[in-house]
Amino acid sequence: MNWFIILSLFFIWNFQECHCCLKSKRSADYCECSDIIDLLDEYADRANIPMTEKVGCVRNITCDADDQTYVTIYFSASEIVRPDDNNNDIGYVDSTNLQTGVPRGPLDIFSSFGMSCENKKWYVTKYPFGLSYEKKDWKLEYITGDWDGKKSEIKFIACIAPP
């Protein structure tokens, strides 16, 4: 082998390495999910809800921790097993303990619910105040569990603007 070939191989290898690292650097800033703001329900007072975009798919959505701030999920699109007495496949990820009403005040639901983007879908992965759901008699039931890391696709976000 002559030096020319060795040098050429070296340059080609080097070029490919660089190409790859540029690509992976770029994809860290890019979020493949749709704008999470589109998941806010029709009642959300968008103008008064502080929302910021951070690197990649990291956001901050600050709402008032309240019985009107929650994320709607479908058990059929969740890793959490649907309770036997649930009447409609729907669960609500609560932003406060609905039985004690604590806490109240501004809460970044993006980080406290462990929201993340995977395969173009938004999920919650944390349930700090558990879930509520409607039973067959339409009464609300509250449940908690060891669910950290279990994914539930976000259907809607109900968010009351912080005081």
Ligand X SMILES: *[C@@H]1O[C@H](CO)[C@@H](O)[C@H](O)[C@H]1NC(C)=O
List residues near ligand X by CB under 6 A.
Answer: 50, 60, 62, 108, 111
Which long-range contacts link 111-118 to residues 24+ away (Cβ below 8 Å)?
111/60, 113/71, 114/148, 115/36, 115/59, 115/154, 116/57, 117/31, 117/32, 117/33, 117/57, 118/151
Report the alpha-carbon distance of residue 43 to residue 41 in Å, rounded: 6
Q: Which is nearer to ligand X, 50 or 145 (CB)?
A: 50
Q: Which is nearer to ligand X, 50 or 101 (CB)?
A: 50
- Measured CA to CA in angstroms, residue 149 lies from 74, 133, 146, 157 at distances of 17, 20, 9, 19
The DSSP call for residue 77 is: G
Q: Which is nearer to ligand X, 97 or 111 (CB)?
A: 111
Smallest distance from the beta carbon of 53 to ligand X, in angstroms? Answer: 11
Smallest distance from the beta carbon of 51 to ligand X, in angstroms? Answer: 8
Smallest distance from the beta carbon of 111 to ligand X, in angstroms? Answer: 6
Smallest distance from the beta carbon of 50 to ligand X, in angstroms? Answer: 4
Q: Which is nearer to ligand X, 86 or 111 (CB)?
A: 111
